């Protein structure tokens, strides 16, 4: 009887784990009707983004991101973002009010980090948000997609 209880517990644990993460091979294509989570510099939450803003600090100042930083997505079985009818995920730093439209990066494969372009301008320090969405920035899109977000902290390495 005890052995049977352990078997049920192990089976239930395996099912629960299967609902959390899907073992997607590295660089598997992003497809419609899939759940995903965003990744900034290898982190799903509380990521640090290094900026390069030489000179004296001032409120509201923006600058470029340092090289070697990335965006990526990982596939999930449930929760977080949802591609809906689309087969890609667009990524951008959510702009503050009265800032120009953000530079977007399009991801088409899971587990394939893409560099953050050096044309991106972000606050030199402070906090921000990165949006991962199968619908491009401010585009009218079909029903069914769900974006996901990663909170970031900007750290000026030139200060």
Q: Render pLDDT for 111-150 as a digit per residue (tens, 0 to 9).
A: 999 999 999 999 999 999 999 999 999 998 878 899 999 9
Q: Which pTM value belongs to this model?
A: 0.82
Q: Where are the chain's structural domains? A: 25-156
> Of 58, 141, 51, 156, whose CA–CA distance to 93 is shortest?
51
Structure tokens that stand for 97 in this block: 């009010």
CA 153/CA 50 separation, integer angstroms: 8
Q: Render pLDDT for 14-57 as a digit per residue (tens, 0 to 9).
A: 333 333 444 445 689 999 999 999 999 999 999 999 999 998 87
């Amino acid at each position: 009887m005890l052995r049977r209880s352990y078997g049920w517990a192990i089976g239930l644990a395996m099912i629960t784990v299967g609902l959390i993460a899907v073992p997607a091979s590295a660089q598997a294509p992003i497809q419609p009707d899939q759940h995903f989570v965003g990744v900034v510099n290898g982190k799903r939450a509380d990521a640090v983004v290094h900026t390069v803003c030489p000179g004296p600090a001032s409120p509201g100042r923006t600058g470029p991101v340092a090289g070697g930083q990335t965006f990526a997505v990982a596939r999930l079985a449930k929760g977080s973002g949802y591609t809906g009818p689309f087969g890609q995920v667009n990524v951008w730093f959510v702009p503050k009010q009265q800032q120009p439209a953000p530079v977007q990066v399009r991801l088409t494969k899971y587990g394939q980090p893409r560099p953050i372009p050096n044309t991106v301008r972000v606050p030199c320090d402070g906090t921000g948000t990165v949006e991962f969405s199968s619908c491009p920035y401010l585009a009218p899109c079909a029903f069914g997609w769900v974006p996901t977000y990663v909170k970031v902290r900007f750290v000026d390495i030139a200060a």
